[in-house]
Structure 1
């Protein structure tokens, strides 16, 4: 196992700390730049993301480029030891382009072309838009690719959305022809004989539309895949335009949980993964559930390339676009920022550095408020964090020791939501995945979030909640994983369809049936007020006792070699299997036939963790709402103990020798964590 990667940039071999910076909004006030430099240094900020929406400031008239302000900015950065992620400005284009070249404006699913405005309101397929972005990106690369202040390329901003123009329709048909080869193959894969929707000419195939076709699930699934591939192709087009001037500069693009794109596929064209996190902290009395949720997404983005990532955006205080804009309570900025570091980020960066004076994000949080000085609570929080980050840069490039993984595929996510299955009012796929992840988070067990195409051999334990779309190949991989000694956990609504969203014939869970040793005959959706229960069988192999409440989904299964660990308590299927375990080869596969709540998941995974021996951050019982995460360089472990419980907590350390990471003072026995507290500890590596 690789224990330490090189820094993302050798120019800045420390934890990155900075923000999105938009000096193009302040070109009329040159004194602002001078003051910003002073404040950046005061806040311990060493890197800024610049030029993200600066196209109009860089090319105010077609063919007229005004780079002088960017020259001054980057030169000033270099003089002051500040660095830049230099963005390509394609996320929002200037009005002159929309007016002169209507084809660059997106066409909605309703087939109406958009007006100018918003962000990413452009067609990724448009030859004209690709030509214009290439010109701009080439000029940026030629001018700044070797600039000492530039540490990397920030490609566009938060890619997302789709276009349904004629260019995109033609590209979709070409994509389908390449994939299927013939209309007969497409018709078979999409099951178009349903409702007499069979295609007899490629020109009849169009993208899904609210006033047209939306009910062919294979069609919907392929459209999602096409949009991902087309967006990646455009992103690669941008990368190719900047690469030549300095191939050593890393490239990234900031991601933001946009459901329309399979981010896992971006990993092949990016040097580093970055994402934007905006939790709604303090929406309940304690933040443990939300803390676990954000941990899941940190784990997901770390897992895309199995190496450190960047937290490219978060807010130092509040947002202005969430339903309720809460301030971060004392300690939460430090806790939430260092949570990202704990899960593998090598940066903490914000949107935004200085608040805009007008338009839609003028009240969005920033390091520098409208008051324009450092004498604010938020600025002090940022500066204190900057000091901490400067003292712990030895964690840069370190890895996360992981033996547990959760299977989370984007096309499965799309298919589950489109299934028109047992609970159209909400089958809660993401919520289910997050609930399983939280059970590990609460016990300080690190988790990778992987796709079905990833290598499974590094793990002892794999959890695959609601693996509705399960390819035959995925079934074989999981079968091999278990046969060779791995432990697999699955749930209801698994092994239902193949990659075309066609149901597996011969009995569910399709390719998983042999591994799980069960046959799923029926599945029932429950109303929100309905409840069932799981009664543990006497002397079951897990040693669990009692009854646990279940809700939303109940699957009726028959065992085919699996052992019954628990049965349903209610309805006409009371007494039938609800929880099973199947010994298969050298491993074991568990199946939960019903949706179970946090009390069961915590008890169940406690036993599974004991059985499998998967690595935990510390060999100790953590208080409710407290978690721990480890990064390692192979010689030293860096242990982050985080308190999201909403109250002060005391944590007992295990018997290893610890020191405080920031002070190098020895610590043993117990540590006290205040509300929103975090302890940064160091110990000799336990997994070399």
Structure 2
């Protein structure tokens, strides 16, 4: 059974029988907002490692928060899926706290960022206004750091940045397909595959829709994926969970807007590259996540820090599940222990 919609912008919010019929805004002894949500946690926060040069993409993960589900039998844990396409695109990612310095980054990803303080929302707003790109998924910006529902509608602290107002939540039933369509005159071949898990009744307040819900019980003009210009930057919002192909297309557009390039272009799917920078050197790490051997051609010679028999390499053969640690040549190179 699909859950009954949850209307935003009210302190006392009631769910239907699919969510247990409880009032999450009427917790005993408090006037706080709902502790329910489509996920179990926003994740564990971490600061970028010391000694790392700033990468160009960050994932914001808020302070660890316990969230009840909207109904244990009604919803699985959400997986907005923005991170796998980033891995497939070969870009580097940092997991950062919202209070961290955001200036080194070009793109921020907020996957289901349920808890967001007004202070941290202002930091993200300034980041986008200064030219950064933002990709936020459903159920973002619902409560503040005290677990109180933001007033002014959802996502109130980020509404002007995203250019949308969420009027109702419509969790999908287990295994329910959520049809999508492209804007009129821009229909791709084939049509987008159905989404899943979640949908929201989104009203545009400045954004434009990149994908729409396609019924059958909803009007065709309800946006599913939106994009909005805020200052010198852009912000996208996912009101559902697209399938992997559609999600990759959304992520690719966000990467293009942000000007984010792969760490090492041309890698085979399943081969990962990341760079760690020191004061006078850098170290390139290659990981083969597949069961096949893959050849990697480097743009310049590097020192093989795991094999002293090969002082300089330009071509690397990564064995199945293999790893290569390659230091820069023109500057001093640390020992493998120091590099890792």
Any unmatched runs of 5+ in structure 2? Answer: 1-22, 332-340
Report which structure shows greater RCO (CA 8 Å, sep ≥6).
2
Name the CA shift for 1:655/1:595 in 2 (closer, same or farther; >3 Å).
same
Aligned to 1:454: 100
* Residues in 1 aligned to 2:212 and 2:121: alpha-carbon distance in whole angstroms: 26
1:193–1:586 CA distance, 2 compared to 1 (3 A): closer
Q: Is the 8 A contact 1:536 1:544 kept in 2?
A: no
Runs of 4+ in 1 over 6 A off after TM superposition: 216-221
SS in 1 for 2:179: strand
Change (3 A) 1:585 1:545: farther
CA distance in 1, matches of 2:25, 2:165: 28
Rate the CA distance shift 1:539–1:485 in 2: closer, same or farther, 3 A.
Answer: farther
Over 3 Å counting, the alpha-carbon distance change for 1:408 and 1:615 in structure 2 is same
Query: Quick check: 470-479 or 511-520, which moved more?
Result: 470-479
In 2, distance between residues paired with 1:544 and 1:519? Answer: 30
CA deviations 1:159-193 (Å, max 9, x no partner) are: xxxxxxxxxxxxxxxxxxxxxxxxxxxxxxxx999
User: Per the alignment, in what secondary structure is the counterpart of residue 653 of structure 1?
Assistant: strand
Cα shift at 1:564: 1.1
- Structure 1 position 546, deviation (Å): 4.1
Question: Which one of 651, 673, 686 corresponds to residue 318 of structure 2?
Answer: 673
Matches within 5 A, 1:173-572: 194=26, 197-198=28-29, 300=46, 303=47, 306-307=49-50, 398-411=51-64, 413-414=65-66, 417-418=67-68, 420-421=69-70, 425-429=74-78, 431-432=79-80, 435-537=81-183, 546-572=191-217
Q: Classify 1:408/1:676 alpha carbon distance in 2 versus 1 (closer, same or farther; 3 Å).
A: same
Structure 1 pair 400–442 and aligned structure 2 pair: CA distance change class (3 A): farther
1:649 shift after superposition: 3.5
* Distance in 1 of aligned mates of 2:58 and 2:277: 18
- Structure 1's 192 and 513: CA in aligned 2 closer, same or farther, altered over 3 A? closer
Note the residue ranges of structure 1 that are not aligned, 5 or more in a row: 1-190, 200-215, 222-258, 265-299, 308-397
Q: Distance in 1 between matches of 2:135 and 2:311?
A: 42
Cα separation, partners in 2 of 1:505 and 1:422, compared to 1, 3 Å = farther
Q: Identify the structure with the greater strand proportion.
A: 2
Task: Give the aligned partner of residue 35 of structure 1.
Answer: none
Which residue in 2 is equivalent to 1:637?
282
The 1:615–1:400 alpha-carbon spacing in structure 2 relative to 1, beyond 3 Å, is: farther
The number of aligned residues is 301
Which of 618, 623, 630 aligns to 2:268? It is 623
Q: 1:217 deviation in Å?
A: 6.6
Shift in CA distance, 524/684, structure 1 to aligned 2, threshold 3 Å? farther
Greater C-alpha Rg: 1
Distance 2:152 2:253 in 1: 33
Q: TM-score, normalised by structure 2?
A: 0.76
Q: Distance in 1 between matches of 2:58 and 2:185?
A: 29
Q: 1:654 deviation in Å?
A: 4.8
CA distance in 1, matches of 2:119, 2:311: 52
Higher helix share: 1
8 Å contact from structure 2 (residues 35, 147) kept in 1: no
Q: Is the 1:550–1:596 contact (alpha carbons within 8 Å) kept by the matching residues of 2?
A: yes
The CA RMSD measured in Å over matched residues stands at 3.4
CA distance in 2, matches of 1:193, 1:489: 28
- Taking structure 1 as the reference length, the TM-score comes to 0.40
